[in-house]
Structure 1
């Protein structure tokens, strides 16, 4: 179960909006360390020992979280515009209106139908694969909005990897601060802190591994970029050399064609001279006609 959806939730005071599900608070609880609130149901989604506030990042032990009954009573008079029809009223009457007027719900993103508003809201917030959502690291520079089903592909993008490089050192610093203050938590509750310590150590190891992996990927990316640049330079050089070779071949072909043409002309001139010589052999310059008999010995 998540918060309460309505058409006018975006214009309500932000103190009535859950920072986890971005809906109107349902059974609000208050974090004692910072005073911010969220849905009790959103708190129970993950059974964490230490709760980090989504608004200010302040940490509160689960045992120090308070159910804010006074704030819940104050919210009953909150003005509400139904998210499914033109109905308007107050929060105290909203659930009754939903039960009476809206028994079937259809997701506008994937078309799946539901028989209760709670299941419908849960589907939209956590399950619908066609819903467009913000990246979890949007506060660290990854501002792209993605269809949920394509989130795994988004994790491999350069923008998301850069955001990880920003968030990992901050998380490691926060974990170090937690370990420095662990004695204080142990005085409050030994059992809870032992579990918290184990979780912190596991998270610390995972983040160290993740940071190492990200650094390796970054180094590989830089190396591949440099290699690609070098290959591009080499390709450009080879392309220029190839152009020069092609030009040289074209010039050689042109020269060769010229030589062949000149040779043909010379052959023609030579043939003409040969004919003239043959003709001259049959002419006498003293007025006597000379007959030339070829292969005389064979004809005798």
Structure 2
């Protein structure tokens, strides 16, 4: 009996792991982080190329950075910048006002109003903005007289720029606003209807405040695009930022530094607009997962 007992192997208790539990093979495995050698090498190459490019831009005498500094804050350039900012603000305000009306018409139950809104958006999104500006600039050749008023020389370059850019912007703003309105849950609108709110009050108090979360991001992109797009009005001799720079380099033949002046001002303004867009988006995203 004792011999049989001695033949039975004695079981040994499993070693305890550091946390007090029974140890196993996983406890003895050492976690080794993945070596991303290729990514680090690519990042180093990219940084090297960026450093070389930046060095070439700074040290290249052809850029004439001293001339850029001399003209960066001259009166003519600042006047052009002021007109660009004024034109951008006015076009965005008028464009979104008209675009909101078009969006509401597109979402109405009246087939005629839907068709008119759709046709407007289709027409102005289908034609280049330059063509539209040239049509308005030559409106006197198309309609010499409207309601007894001669149209020849009636519209100046700035007025033409405002009209052309606003009508073009409204077509895109209408789609942005329509998308924002459609993003609002149907239950919100039905709840407002059950409270007896009229269509206008529902739109102003219930729909638009919630739709702004979806409207602000594309509207911010449109604002930046409009700011840069105003440079096209130089083709009809509107003295915006780009045209002001062109007037100077036509006189001094310093093309590159004056183009850099306009470029740097566009970069500065668009950067500030981007910061403002971030805070506006955060404001309307309060109470949602997108608030950061």
- TM-score category by the smaller chain? under 0.3
TM-score w.r.t. the length of structure 2 is 0.26
Q: Which has the higher contact order (CA 8 A, sep 6+)?
A: 2
Greater C-alpha Rg: 1
Q: By percentage of residues, which structure has more helix? A: 2
